[in-house]
A and B are shown apart, each in its own frame.
Chain A
Amino acid sequence: MDDEYNEELGKRKAIYVPYSQAVPLKYAIDPDNCLYLTKGRCGTCETVCPSHAINYLDQEKEITLNVGSVVLSTGFKSFDPSKLDYLSFGKHPDIVTAMGFERVLSATGPQGGHLVLPSDKKHKKEPKKIAWLQCVGSRDENRCNNGYCSSVCCMYAVKQSVMAKDHSKVPLDCAVFYMDMRTQGKDFDRYLENAKENGVRFVRSRVHSVYPDRDKGDLVVGYVDELGVMVTEHFDMVVLSTGLEISADSFELATTMGIELDRSNFIKTDSFNPVSTSMPGVYACGVFTGPKDIPQSVMEASAAASAATENLALARHSKTQAITIPKQRDVAGESPRIGVFVCNCGTNIGGIVDVPAVAEYARHLSGVVYVEENLFTCSQDTQDKMVEVIREKKLNRIVIAACTPKTHEDLFRETLIDAGLNKYLVEMANIRNQDSWVHSNAPERATAKAKDLVRMAIAKALHLAPLFESQLPVSPAALVVGGGITGMTAALALSRQGYPVTLVEQNQTLGGNGRLLHKTAKNEAVAVFVRKIISEVEADERVHVLLGSTVQGVEGFVGNFKTTVATGDDTRIVDHGVALLATGAKESRPEAYCYGEHDAVMTLLDLDARFAENAAVVDRAENVVFIQCVGSRNPAHPYCSKVCCTHAIRSAITLKRKNPETGVYVLYRDIRTYGQREFLYREARELGILFFQYDVDNTPVVTPGEDHVTVTFTDHVLGRPLAVDADILCLAARIDAWDNTRLGQAFKVTSDNDGWFLEAHQKLRPVDFATDGVFLCGMAHYPKPVDESISQARAAAARALTVLSRDSINVGGIVAEINRERCGGCGGCVAVCSYNAITIDPEKHVAVVNDALCKGCGACAATCPSEAPSLMGFNNEQLYAQIKSAMTV
């Protein structure tokens, strides 16, 4: 049957593993297609399964659980383009969805990562021209009911076009048909500019038809270009950038639970409670609350973790089970007794490598007393058996020939602990990623290489010694730097979980940018919320606010920081286990368009101030012009400030609603009202607000008049210049990062080229710094609206809680150790250590490693000419043994 994992571009059986890296890596029966379950025939799997794991009589069971709260994260369904006739989806195999194209590009996909036309896989015909059609099932209320923007399609289309060019052996023509390029995320505009430089064509047009050309066999794309000319163009392949929507199942779940949804069936949230649903105790994250990308989903996921546990704080550790650890056996006096486990990984390894031959080979190597083959060495039953075998055969070193230690070493270490062995007495040989996967076309040589890898691992295992960790207590308190909405949210989130917080703010007032903002995208009054949260912070006994204060210096490491905070002339030392940096950002002062020279010219925040004070000019204005991207998205500042399109349109609507006679003009480059913000853009157009697109090389011209300024720009459709006498000219000024150099140095964290704090991983660790125990949130990370800042603040709090809720942290194990006899105190190791883990003892003039900071990278050991540092678990003796073994067959 069609394989849904490969978007129906490949086939699978009725009993299947969803994909090769699936967790758990177990077969499942597809009850809708199993012949036995549907027609009572076949039953082959039961007869062939050696483990007797097949149970056709298994039934759905209902389980009742008592839980303190619920998090809904059911995600999205990709829009089905077969509903839209004009795209001819399903009528030609070379029209694929974006998800389908991901599978085409993927090495584990139906084409093995080769970019060939699905219509002609046999001859491996490669496409020469591919078109991407944006907004399929998004920003469209006529042909489907999805009026929102799906937020992610612009970026994934740019990525796919770049990847396709990279995969293609022939010069590939890639064209992206779009309405607005919405690359508002961190580093996304740079990626877009690189794609343009790589020759990807971007065509501002919504395609009106796609149909197969019967004679040529390719595809015809019909569109109207920017000058209004009808164009038809031939392509070999068309990718539909399908949007995200809520599945019928998720809709049913929410409605059954009685959770309020918005007009597009996303869970309704407000900007100040972005992960709370309408039902107390039920929280939500990811695309269920609105279309969003992976980092934003991950942030919200952590935010939901913080919100969902806030009211359960008193029950912390009440349901978790303490693990009883068996006593560790002392193996010091024993000669090596090595057990080798060779994994088939289903057919991943066993399908290529002759696993029985590798096992037989290992049996005869020195030190080996036990060898076993497994279908999956990582399965739970194998772990249980391994514990037994280790005890029974008195094994004291274990070699696992399977996959990568990156994903599985921790599992096997746990097993060693259960068997009473020191967890560092295991060595892995990666005969999958480094062998069967990459040499699938040469099975014999792959088997020979597997033998080499196993022999090398055994050679190293002979020299493995137990390593030990020590425990350091965690100081159960937090430091939050920055007293804006973000910092206050984070402080309260931690305090409500029972931890004291020191909140450091350099100004004399709390509130930050929140004091300057008028309304959120959802039209909520920011000032009301800011007043409320400030009073909550001030009333919270566990939050200690230090106004007019700055961080002077930091000592220590995760769990045990000592930070010096200066308040005026006073300094104090704060003990804390974690730190959250929420220092925010600022609206820049424009240097163009007569800003600062004429009273009619102001920024979005200036206009917000006029709204707040009910200024006469707001009611009186006959014409108001907004200019977007002032100082953003240019070579000097190549990033998008993300918030300004929504902010400007919100302000434009406020003006137009106050006085419908006011002429309101928005001059923009791309309107980036991502997600549900798109409805705001629609509302603006319906109210008669006029939008004019301008090019970066043809910017509007502003000439000062007496009580107005004249703004001249080109009407893109008519190609004619227009002039408007504006009583208010509102500039969407770039958002700038603060200079965080000193704070960054103090906490050993870095910023990117634009001055934003740099997270540990853009996708998967969006609120962690690379330095343990330090977290980032809010605009200090990148410009973002209030709801996203609050999510990120909560996310940082959740990540911090994973440290604070521990009694102690383990340090040591695989860390560097200095042989003092050999150390000359030259400082070479200090210079190469990326984690500032090594210092020179000023009295003894030798290097000293801080176990809590050392990440075990080994840079010091590789640098030192005297071999003074050695990396435990990877010392020279062990590595030389491995190398020597590689050389001798």
Chain B
Amino acid sequence: MEKNDLTPAEPQGSVMVVGGGVAGMQSALDIANSGFYVYLVEKSPAIGGKMAQLDKTFPTNDCAM
């Protein structure tokens, strides 16, 4: 299992996600939707990351946007 050596007595109910690409957005959504407050930090003026630059994606040829 993931390393479990940090068990604070009174844990914070919030998480910071650094990077707002497809991975950061998914992580932030799952964390928020399971009852935690999320700070999503993104350097550029928009979230979306590299995937927003892609045209179609394999293997289904779906539009990346």
* Chain A interface residues toward B at CB < 8 A: 5, 7, 17-19, 21-24, 26, 28, 65-76, 78, 99, 102-103, 105-109, 113, 155-156, 158-159, 162-163, 185-188, 190-191, 249, 253, 272-273, 275-276, 280-281, 283, 285-288, 294, 297-298, 300-302, 304-321, 489, 492-493, 496-497, 533, 536, 762-764, 794, 798-799, 801-802, 804-805
Contacts and interface: CB of A to CB of B under 8 A. Distances in A.
B61 A159 contact: yes
A23 B42 CA distance: 11
B34 A805 contact: yes
Interface string B40-65: 00011111111111111111111001
Given A103-B53, A302-B30, A305-B27, A190 B12 contact: no
22 contacts: A18-B44, A18-B46, A21-B65, A26-B45, A69-B6, A70-B17, A73-B19, A105-B55, A105-B56, A188-B58, A273-B3, A286-B24, A301-B26, A307-B2, A315-B10, A316-B36, A317-B13, A317-B35, A319-B36, A489-B1, A493-B1, A496-B4
B19 A286 contact: yes
Closest 10 CB pairs of A and B: A286-B23, A68-B12, A315-B13, A305-B30, A28-B45, A319-B13, A318-B13, A319-B37, A301-B26, A22-B46
Contacts of A802: 30, 33-34
Q: Report which residue of A188, A253, A298 has the largest number of chain B beta carbons within 10 angstroms of its beta carbon.
A: A298
B58 A69 contact: no
Contacts of B21: 73-75, 286, 297
B55 A320 contact: no
Contact of B17 (A73, A273, A280): A73
A121 B19 CA distance: 35
B24 A68 contact: no
A794 B27 CA distance: 12
Q: Report which residue of A19, A78, A275 has the largest number of chain B beta carbons within 10 angstroms of its beta carbon.
A: A19
Given A18-B46, A75-B50, A162-B61, 8 more contacts: A26-B45, A71-B18, A159-B59, A280-B6, A298-B26, A312-B11, A319-B13, A763-B57
Contacts of A113: 55
A13 to B, nearest CB: 13
Contact of A71 (B27, B37, B49): B27
Q: Report which residue of A5, A28, A69 has the largest number of chain B beta carbons within 10 angstroms of its beta carbon.
A: A69
A71 B13 contact: no
Dominant SS among interface residues on chain A:
mixed
B59 A298 contact: no
Nearest to A156: B58
A533 B2 CA distance: 11
Contact of A22 (B48, B50, B57, B59): B48
Nearest to A293: B58
A68 B27 contact: no
Contacts of B57: 159, 294, 763
B10 to A, nearest CB: 8
B23 A75 contact: yes
A794 B44 CA distance: 29
Contacts of A764: 22, 26
B8 to A, nearest CB: 7
Contact of A311 (B7, B22, B60): B7
B16 A70 contact: yes
Contacts of B60: 762-763
Nearest to B56: A163
Contacts of B17: 70-71, 73
A469 B57 CA distance: 36
A759 to B, nearest CB: 11
A492 B1 CA distance: 8
Nearest to A281: B6
A67 B23 CA distance: 19
A190 B19 contact: no
A304 B27 contact: yes
B49 to A, nearest CB: 6
Contacts of A68: 8, 11-15, 36
Given A21-B65, A102-B54, A305-B31, A316 B1 contact: no
A249 B59 contact: no
B40 to A, nearest CB: 10
Contact of B59 (A185, A288, A306, A794): A185
Contact of B15 (A5, A24, A69, A533): A69
A673 B48 CA distance: 29
A67 B11 CA distance: 9
Contact of B45 (A7, A18, A300, A316): A18
Given A75-B23, A191-B59, A67 B5 contact: no
Contacts of A69: 6, 15-16
Contact of B2 (A99, A190, A276, A319): A276
A102 B53 CA distance: 7
B36 to A, nearest CB: 6
Nearest to B17: A71
A124 B61 CA distance: 25
A612 B52 CA distance: 47
Contacts of B12: 66-68, 312, 315, 319
